[in-house]
Amino acid sequence: MTTLTINGTERTLDVDPDTPLLWVLRDELRLTGTKFGCGVAQCGACTVMMDGAPRRSCVTPVGMIDGADITTIEGMAGPEFDAIQTAWRALDVPQCGWCQSGQVMSATMLLQQLPAPSDDQIDEAMAGNACRCATYHRIRAAIHDAARTLEG
């Protein structure tokens, strides 16, 4: 048995401890906002927050993280997340949208840690989130936009 807190609710999971967290989120708990992209931590589509930091759930066996506090896109809240969501809508950031859950998670974490990131800091922090529609220019603009909103 593995116990995780997911979006504020404690869950006891009767699954093989080698099961990736992503599988548990999507197949067991039906939290399908977190996406499968590559399965090898190369694309970032499966990004969740684990104990307050971004984590690729496709390479995270639940047995390795017993007791962890997980937040998925469905459970995100707070001023940085709100600002990112607003900017994402305003700039029409997504194209196909598949990677965007992971993009939003990483962008939110970046603003939580760095309220006014430079272009280089955005590129470095977002380098692990691939977008096959190449929306990178809008992602960067939206992070700047969200940062300006948060500055008031």
Partner 1 sequence: MRFVAIAVAAALVQPALAQDLRAPDQIAGADDAARSAALFVEMGKVLTHPRCLNCHPVTGGPTQGDDMRPHNPPMVRGEADFGPVGMNCTTCHGTENVSFATQPGSIPGHQPWSLAPVSMGWQGRSLAEICEQIKDPARNGGKDLEAIHDHNAADGLVGWGWNPGEGRAPAPGTQDIFGQLTRAWIDTGAACPG
Q: Are 54 and 46 in contact (CB under 8 A)?
A: no
Chain residues 55-84 in contact with partner 1, contact rule CB under 8 A? 55-56, 58-61, 64-65
Q: First and final CA of the chain: distance in angstroms?
A: 46
Token pair listed for 78: 């707070």
**Does residue 126 interact with partner 1 by CB under 8 A?**
yes
As a whole number of Å, the CA-based R_g of the chain is 15
What contacts 38, CB < 8 A, 6 or more positions away? 45, 58, 130
**Does residue 114 interact with partner 1 by CB under 8 A?**
yes
Q: Are 18 and 60 in contact (CB under 8 A)?
A: no
**Does residue 2 interact with partner 1 by CB under 8 A?**
no
Rank residues 35 and 56 by Cβ distance to partner 1 and give the closer one.
56
DSSP annotation of 24 reads I
Rank residues 27 and 92 by Cβ distance to partner 1 and give the closer one.
27
Q: Considering only 2-10, 73-81, 90-98, 113-121, which stretch makes contact with partner 1 by CB under 8 A?
A: 113-121
Which residues contact partner 1 (rule: CB under 8 A)? Answer: 18, 20, 23, 39-42, 44, 47, 53-56, 58-61, 64-65, 106, 109-110, 113-114, 117, 121, 124-128, 130
